[in-house]
Structure 1
């Protein structure tokens, strides 16, 4: 019995037996832990939970720099992502944002939204007002009327001709605004 065979079996009883006999933090030649092997072989969530309850290291990295959370995101294992977060998996990476599970999830809004409650996550799904603001910025940018720094927008301040300001402008409000009138905080 070895973890590679157990992971490929997708059998929860095999995981239960192996977790009693084998080290849940053992590494293979590629640096993968039993947790990572089970994730990449699409082990049912119950098998993943057994490993987590046996103390599987959530933050261990394989030779590619992937953690269990990053692998779960890459393999689109929604229930496993939820379990890993429940057990305290972290989003931060010593390799910067490009090494995070969030970076792996950024092209999949559903997966990225699962990570929202973790430190360092960025919300990708916009509400109607935020989408209007972003659409307005993109419209101005494509027309060459404005250069807006690529930062998270917390609030808008719009100025009219008399330099009176109003907050929370929408795309419609932005249309007549000149570059000097647009401030991003």
Structure 2
């Protein structure tokens, strides 16, 4: 059964990586609902949040495929209840439509919105929340001749995670060869030919 998943990818900050990751989805004809990239808590490591509607089996395979990319360190997937997430939305409405102080105060209080810009022609409101919350405010502003609406991509934090930086530090602290695994395709009797 398809469900909404958020895939979190930790990767080195390299040019072209985003294109390589999105190709993995397009080759499988999987629509990305939301995609955000940002710096992470680890210097030089970026974090991608990718939202899709798919089955768990498909999402698991996608994560394995993403992890095969050279610059990717780790990919996780989580259901909505396993993460804390938000989306930012901006709404532009004619200032003449919302000049009544009571209207603005009610919207600010009831929807947790705030005013980010006011000029003679338009006022821009901002709201942060889940998609349902930002969609409700679209309907409210449509009554006031909504000019423009934009929603940012999802940002998410995994609830039961101790942070990826802890795993990196543990890995860096290990002595070289501590977890060496013999290559299953090559042993002492095999010959390697080079040209």
Instruction: Give the TM bin, normalised by the shorter chain.
Output: under 0.3
Alignment TM-score, normalising by the size of structure 1:
0.21
Point out which structure has higher relative CO (alpha carbons under 8 A, 6+ apart): 2
Q: TM-score, structure 2 length as denominator?
A: 0.20
